[in-house]
Structures are given as structure tokens and as C-alpha cells.
Amino acid sequence: MYNILFSSAWETMEAFGYDYRHLGAATGMTAVLHTWGQTLVLHPHLHCIVPAGGLTVQGKWRHTKQEGKYLYPQQALSSVFRAKYVEKLRRWIKQENIPVDKTLFKELFRNSWVVDAREPFEKAENVIEYLARYTHKVAISNHRLVSIDNNTIVFRYKDYRDGGQQKIMSLGATDFLQRFCLHILPSGFVRIRHYGILSTRRKTQCLEDARCSLGVAAPQKQPTDWKTIAFKRLGFDPGRCPFCGEGKMVMIEKLAPERGPPKSNFNLIKRDGF
């Protein structure tokens, strides 16, 4: 289901990008899967970053036709995304031979689907700050927990239907764990994906073409070791002795990682004479 969500979103953005009525160029997308709401209920959706333009066949950058106000019409995006998602869902259900109510697909088309398109970011730092909210967080962080007592978990949440008011919710331990476990993804599942001109295979050449077309110089890479990053960002000096707080740690030897013996799936058979 999550894979259908990703592919439907990208096919929608790609179709609008190639459409000359909207852009007429190859675009890209970075998408992050977000599955939880403030009360830990299952609410799968994607947060997507899309360039405000794209590369033409000639390798030239083409800006959005809406003077930067928006990329594509929100209502049109919603309709196309819904159609693509439902079609993929229909095929998947048929392929897996899953019994469903005949009214399911009619109900899916009964209401409008929400595609929340926001205004462009002002600078690159805002893009990083936005993505950081969803790329390295879990369903609930420790600072939202109020108390854990008598098999009951109490936590804070924002009620967006009530103007974002801070409220308190109390759940039994079993209910809390059931909600939390809904957001544990399958092993190996990729929840951050890049598409189009931002994909791993194409981004090096595409970004170079975009910079050349826009007359923008490539940023200079500044190699920095992890110790410097820890000191600047965390205020922690990993080279300082943790006991006296004054002396410096000196590396004596670096131990190479050792690989354990391979696991064998063969059954040993005892034979006569062995």
C-alpha cells in the first residue's frame, strides 16, 4: 500500500511536469513517508519537495509558468492523484485476489482527496529544516510523554481541529503499544525516495545542467571530520578525556572489524565410516 502511495504521487507530478500547459519539462521529487498523527493513529501520507521548474529536452532550466506563486493547480493535482491511486489499488486487489465490497471504489471517489500544496521555500536552509521534521523522527518523542504509571501512559498532543491547542491524552499500555507499533515499517523499507532529476542515477548530470542554465556556480565542498562537527553542533569535544575533563584522548590502535563465521543452512548427515 505504501509503495502504491509513492508511485501514484510521483506519476502525478511527472505527468503535470511534462504537460506543456503547466511546465513542459522533466521535474523531480523527494518524498518522505509519514504514517502517524499527533495521537499515534495511522495516517499514512507523503511530504514531498518538488522543484519550482524543470529541465527541458535541450537541458535548459524552465521556471514554473505561474510566476512562482504555485507549481500546479491544487484541485487538478488532487483529482489526478486520486485516479492514479485508485487504479493501482484496483489492480493490486485483483492481483492478490482480495475480497472487497463492491461499493469500495465508489466510496473512494465520493469525496475530494486532499493535496496540500504550499508556497515555495525562500532559501535552501528552509528545505533542510522542513525535511528534518519528518526524516529522523519516530511516532512520538520523549518530551511529549507526561507520565507512565499504573499501566497508563499520559502524553501531550496538538489538536489541529481545535486551533492547534495543546491537550492531554491517556492510554493504557497495551493500547499505546498497539498504536506505536502501527508505525514500525517492514524491514528494509525505504521511506525517503528521490525521483526524476533528483534521483540518484540522474541528479549529478541534471543538477550540473540546471546550474549551467541558471548561471549558478556549484557549491564548494568543505570536508569536515566528525570531531569538528561534534564540537560545533553539539558543543562536545570527543578528544577530551571524559574523566579529568582536561587531558586529550590519544589513539593507540585501531581495531579492524572481524567478520563472524558464515551461517550454514546445510543439514549434517552422519554416514558409516565418518
The reply to whether 254 falls in a domain is: no
C-alpha cell recorded at residue 149: 504509571
Do residues 205 and 108 both lie within one domain?
yes
The reply to whether 228 falls in a domain is: no
Distance between CA atoms of residues 6 and 243, nearest Å: 50
Do residues 154 and 205 both lie within one domain?
no
pLDDT at position 272 over 90: no
Do residues 191 and 56 both lie within one domain?
yes
Q: How large is the average pLDDT for residues 7-11?
A: 95
**pLDDT tens by residue, 94-103:** 999 988 888 8
The reply to whether 229 falls in a domain is: no
Query: Do the strands 192-196 and 28-36 form a parallel or antiparallel pair, or are they unpaired?
Result: antiparallel
19-23, 100-104, 176-180, range with greatest mean pLDDT:
176-180
Query: How sure is the predictor about 269, in pLDDT bands with cuts at 50, 70 and 90?
Result: very low
pLDDT of residue 83: 93
pLDDT at position 265 over 60: no
Distance between CA atoms of residues 225 and 154, nearest Å: 41
What is the three-class DSSP state of 146?
Answer: strand
What is the three-class DSSP state of 139?
Answer: coil
**Mean pLDDT of the chain, nearest integer:** 86
Distance between CA atoms of residues 45 and 9, nearest Å: 10
Distance between CA atoms of residues 259 and 190, nearest Å: 26
Q: How large is the average pLDDT for residues 206-231?
A: 85
Helix (H) or strand (E) holding 223: none
Determine what percent of the chain is predicted with pLDDT higher than 90.
Answer: 45
Phi, psi of 87 (to 5 degrees): -65, -45
Do residues 84 and 153 both lie within one domain?
no
Do residues 75 and 161 both lie within one domain?
no
pLDDT of residue 271: 45
Do residues 40 and 120 both lie within one domain?
yes
The total domain count for the chain is: 2
pLDDT of residue 165: 92
The reply to whether 252 falls in a domain is: no
Q: Which of 216, 235, 265 is the last residue of a domain?
A: 216
Do residues 176 and 191 both lie within one domain?
no
Distance between CA atoms of residues 92 and 89, nearest Å: 5
Do residues 31 and 97 both lie within one domain?
yes
Closest listed residue to residue 77, CA positions, set 161, 2, 17, 13 = 13
Please report how many Cα atoms fall inside a 13 Å half-sphere around the Cα of residue 48, on the Cβ side: 26
The reply to whether 83 falls in a domain is: yes
3-state SS, 53-74, equals EEECCCCCEEECCCCCCCCCCH
Do residues 101 and 209 both lie within one domain?
yes
Q: Which of 216, 233, 259 is the last residue of a domain?
A: 216
Question: Could you tell me how far CA 27 lies from the centroid of its own chain?
Answer: 18
Q: Are 3 and 11 in contact (CB under 8 A)?
A: no
pLDDT at position 202 over 50: yes
Closest listed residue to residue 33, CA positions, set 182, 186, 193, 158 = 193
Q: What is the pTM of this model?
A: 0.76
| Host domain of residue 131 | 2-139+187-216
**pLDDT tens by residue, 114-156:** 888 887 787 888 888 888 888 888 889 889 999 998 899 999 9
What is the three-class DSSP state of 24?
Answer: coil
Terminal Cα-to-Cα distance of the chain (whole angstroms): 53
Do residues 148 and 158 both lie within one domain?
yes
Do residues 40 and 119 both lie within one domain?
yes
pLDDT of residue 84: 94
pLDDT of residue 270: 44
The reply to whether 258 falls in a domain is: no
Q: Is the dihedral of CA 156, 233, 32, 209 positive or negative?
A: positive
The reply to whether 64 falls in a domain is: yes
pLDDT at position 226 over 90: no
pLDDT at position 268 over 50: no
The reply to whether 56 falls in a domain is: yes
Do residues 153 and 34 both lie within one domain?
no
